[in-house]
Amino acid sequence: MNTTRRTVLKSATAGSVLAGLIAAGALRPTQVLAAEWNKAAFDAHDTASALKGIGAGTPMDSKDLILKVPDIAENGAVVPVDVISNIPNTTSISILVDKNPSPLSASFDFANGALPEVSARLKMGQTSMVKAVAKADGKFYTAQKEVKVTVGGCGG
């Protein structure tokens, strides 16, 4: 990772999300998977820009999106998170942690019979809201829950 590329990507991200994506695509020839890693969204330092990065803008609250997290996480390095979407035609689910240095944790696209459900284990630096965002029929829905963290998992 060279510093010039970082600067280029940072300025591009600030300017427009699209430009950031193009820059990331142009400068990452080794990537083999179909979808380009969404650098703009994962590098965002606040939830609003991360949501913008995944194209969600301001998602609607939904009761059909179920987010299972512990109320209190004793160890912030491993926080189990389950997301289940009961919204019809859910095609993708993203997980965000508001107060992490980079809020966007993971984003999944589902196809060919995969149910819109995912479980993962996240790192959390401090007590924070955890948000799930689901995309269905081009619309975005969200659910959130607070997790209290007694020992942070991001520092060192």
Partner 1 sequence: MADPMKIRAQLKGDVAEIRVLMGHAMETGQRKDAAGKTIPPHFIQSLTVEVGGKKVVEGQVGTSVSRNPVFGFKVKGAKAGDKVVVSWVDNKGDKRTDEAAVA
Among 2, 4, 32, 58, binds partner 1 (CB under 8 A): 32
Q: 35-94: which residues touch partner 1 (CB under 8 A)? A: 35, 37-38, 42, 77-79, 82
Q: Does 26 bind partner 1 (CB under 8 A)?
A: no
Buried b (16+ CB within 10 A) or exposed e, 141-156: bbbbeebebeebbbee
Q: Whose Cβ is closer to partner 1: residue 60's or residue 111's?
A: 111
Q: Is 129 in the site for partner 1 (CB under 8 A)?
A: no
| Helix/strand/coil for 20 | helix
End-to-end CA distance of the chain: 22
> In whole angstroms, how close is the CB of 70 to partner 1 at the nearest point?
13
Query: The tokens 């590098």 sit on which residue?
Result: 43
